[in-house]
Amino acid sequence: MKSLLATAMLMLSGAVAAATPLPATSVLQLSSRFTDQDGKSFVLSDRRGHVQVVSMFYSSCKFVCPLLIDSGLGLDKALTAAERAKLRVLLISLDPARDTTAALNALATKRKLDRTRWTLARTDKDGVRKTAALLDVRYRQLADGEFNHTSGLILLDSEGRILTRTEKLGATPDPAFLAAVRKALKASK
């Protein structure tokens, strides 16, 4: 009986949280559909409840985008196991034409990303444009198919509000960004 009651309470609390509107400043309000490296479809609001680091990239990039991944991995390494377990990382492709699910899956495998916490995602061109606008990522495609784009990591709280960002990339995390991640993780449930 206690187990049944506990289950009912848990379901009710989840329903109440899902019914609570997102803050007006939440990027999770974007209605575009995304597909992850494993072919699962989602909307950003599905990621509610987790502190996350977000960035935009493209898998065929040879220069800055691998540094974005290195930066996320460096951040992971700097966190404790308990902190790391609470953090999600979302990398959204700027190149939906070439970044198929298979391409994203291959990159996640090659880079040995923790698929329980790391998501490489794609959306359509309109979704890319809207996401970039919300995250203040500037980009343009060049004649050779490459992209010029803002490169950095963006920290979102569990409600999808932008807390801070860093453009300091590399395996050693930006100390101020790392401190902000830890503070956000501590404040999350």
What pLDDT shows up at residue 166?
A: 98
What tokens were used for 18? 């899902």
Q: Number of structural domains, the chain?
A: 1
CA atoms within 13 A on the CB side of 26: 22
What pLDDT shows up at residue 5?
A: 41
Give the full edge-to-edge strand order of the sheet including 41-42: 41-42, 34-36, 118-122, 87-93, 51-57, 153-156, 162-166
What pLDDT shows up at residue 18?
A: 57
1: in domain:
no
pTM (2 decimals)?
0.89
- Closest-CA residue to 119 (of 29, 66, 56, 32): 56
159: in domain:
yes
Residue 2 has pLDDT above 90, yes or no: no
Structural domain of residue 59, as residue ranges?
Answer: 23-187
140: in domain:
yes
Q: Is residue 97 classed as helix, strand or coil in its secondary structure?
A: coil
Q: Quick one: pLDDT band at residue 84, thresholds 50, 70, 90?
A: very high
Query: Residue 147's domain is classified under what CATH number?
Result: 3.40.30.10
5: in domain:
no
129: in domain:
yes
The model's pLDDT over 145-185, given as tens digits with 9 standing for 90+, comes to 999 999 999 999 999 999 999 999 999 999 999 999 999 99
What pLDDT shows up at residue 1?
A: 47
The C-alpha torsion from 72 through 187 and 29 to 124, rounded to 10°, is: 10
The model's pLDDT over 134-151, given as tens digits with 9 standing for 90+, comes to 999 999 999 999 999 999
